[in-house]
Structure 1
Amino acid sequence: MANEDQRDYWNDDAGRKWVEHRKRLDSMLGPITKILIDAIAVRQDEDILDIGCGSGELSWRLAGLGANVTGIDLSNPMVDAARAAGSGSAQFLVADASEFCADTSFDAAVSRFGVMFFDDPAAAFANIHANLVEGGRLVFACWATPDRNAWAMVPAMAVRPFLADAAPPDPHAPGPFAFADDARVRTILSDAGFRDVECELHDIDVIMSESGGLDDATAFACQIGPGARALGELDKSERPKAREAIREALRPHIGEDEAVAMAGAIWLVSAAA
């Protein structure tokens, strides 16, 4: 079965934590959602596939603009949350985009950070291409290079000294930064049959805590993101020290208003089928 590790991961604590923090995450990722909505330029009554739809924020926003949206995700907890989040012209399915086959073709496919986790991205995008009408639009957001994303790397690097195996990860392995190399993205999409591939860099501020200060930002970083995933790999006896290391690493980023804002950057990727 494709993407089995990701299926297990997002149906365990990671998926439940995402649902628990969904309002905060949707707020944090709000600027990216707006970038995607502007880029997809919804047309009335068109059919859109939302890949890795999570808790449904982007799907429901697109449905509100007149699209018929099918959101798919590997995570049962997230799909349940998406279904409960609204009513209207959006449906949600537990499905793997690398295997999904719809009864009818879609006019467009969109994703907010849902396409970087494929075991075989070339095959996955070939399948996505097969689900689009000729000339159909593909628009997605993926994280740019780690050095441009302090929100992720500061907590992760704080935990790294506590890990037994601190070898650098494979930059192309499924994960948040698998598509950080825009040249690789262009090649994958072109090989899958897409044309007119564009990768546009957007720098953003990632608000780790709007007003809760250092304690709130630390608690969040220990629940969501690369730092949280690294923390989960530690023996329980090591975790308190690692959490304190995350807290101290975040300290320089706290503002006068108790907000904790950190640098982030995405690729806005667009292509035609």
Structure 2
Amino acid sequence: MIETMTQAQLWNGPAADAWLTMQSTLDQLFEPFETAMVDAVTEVGARHVLDIGCGTGATTIAIGRAVAGRGHATGADLSVPMIDLAKQRAGLCGVDARFIAGDASRITADAPFDMAVSRFGIMFFDEPVAAFARIRAMLLPDAPLTAFAWRSPGENPFMTCAERATAEMLPPLPPQQADAPGQFAFADPDRVRAILADAGWSHAVLTPFDAECTMPLAALDAYLLHMGRVGIVLRQLDDASRAAVLAQLRDAFASFVDGDCVSFTAACWRIDARA
């Protein structure tokens, strides 16, 4: 099932379901990146900001608050259900944030932006050069990009723990190609620089960015049941099989548990460039 899905099917199907279910936990988990993005927007004085791969809208809403009274934030995502939730959240918060559902290589917006940002939203492009070229076309000349993407799997044991721990319990997952769309597609800094250059960006700089991420221990089971490729498989198992795999996963994740919290270091790139 997993290997036959396109990115559009994945992010409008099981991946979207997972992020919708886990929205509040994921917002807490990745809050350090939200803070860093808002700081980046504030530092350059951006007014009209495009948030690529905005998901359920937390980062777009936070940026919308930061630019309130002098501009607006627009979030874009391939996932229609996630965009629908983002619109609802912005309305409930009373934040002037706008949202677009669609492929980043084809989306259109009403006005040019003076900055683009992304938190884990740029690694899933089927055609990354075309996507970054389209994003650049929506920005003013020399407008900055600040984005965050995962470094290598080896530097992120929390993100790979589930697949390692269940390798002998579940059917084999399809091998992940380093350059294929996915969580670690931008782990190679030379590849990222080449994509940006081919898409017409300049002054690309990749800086290691490590953030301490935490969530309540009470949320761990739900996280394991929903997130990543293992989560997709777990939701297809019968109750007894699922319980056995979950028990194995709890043991595997014990090293990340500290009291009533789960914590890990997210090893990422901060990617800065100019349109």
Q: TM-score, normalised by structure 2?
A: 0.88
For the 8 Å contact 2:42–2:66, the answer to whether it is kept is no
Matches within 5 A, 1:95-106: 95-106=102-113
SS at match of 2:271: strand
For the 8 Å contact 1:122–1:191, the answer to whether it is kept is yes
**2:265 alignment partner AA:** A
Unaligned runs of at least 5 residues, structure 2? none
Q: Does 1:210 align with 2:216?
A: yes
**2:196 alignment partner AA:** L
SS at match of 1:53: coil
Matches within 5 A, 1:156-235: 156-165=163-172, 168-207=175-214, 209-212=215-218, 216-229=219-232, 231=234
Aligned partner of 1:75 in structure 2 is: 79
Distance, in Å, in 1 between the alignment partners of 2:263 and 2:192 is 28
Distance, in Å, in 1 between the alignment partners of 2:6 and 2:154 is 26
Q: Give the paired residue count.
A: 264
**1:49 alignment partner AA:** L
Q: TM-score, normalised by structure 1?
A: 0.88
TM-superposed deviation, 1:124:
1.0
TM-superposed deviation, 1:121:
0.8
**2:274 alignment partner AA:** A
TM-superposed deviation, 1:176:
0.7
For the 8 Å contact 1:49–1:110, the answer to whether it is kept is yes
SS at match of 2:141: strand
Distance, in Å, in 1 between the alignment partners of 2:154 and 2:73 is 34
TM-superposed deviation, 1:128:
1.1
Evaluate the alpha carbon distance shift between residue 194 and residue 224 of structure 1 in structure 2; reply closer, same or farther with a 3 A threshold. same
TM-superposed deviation, 1:177:
0.6
Superposition RMSD in Å: 2.1
**1:46 alignment partner AA:** R
Evaluate the alpha carbon distance shift between residue 245 and residue 64 of structure 1 in structure 2; reply closer, same or farther with a 3 A threshold. same
1:33-80, Cα deviation, whole Å (9 max, x unpaired): 112222233666721111111111111111111131111111122111
Unaligned runs of at least 5 residues, structure 1? none
1:8-28, Cα deviation, whole Å (9 max, x unpaired): 112123212212221111110
Q: Does 1:48 align with 2:54?
A: no
TM-superposed deviation, 1:154:
0.8
For the 8 Å contact 2:38–2:66, the answer to whether it is kept is no
1:116-169, Cα deviation, whole Å (9 max, x unpaired): 101111111111111111111111111111111122111121122234435642
Aligned partner of 2:257 in structure 1 is: 254
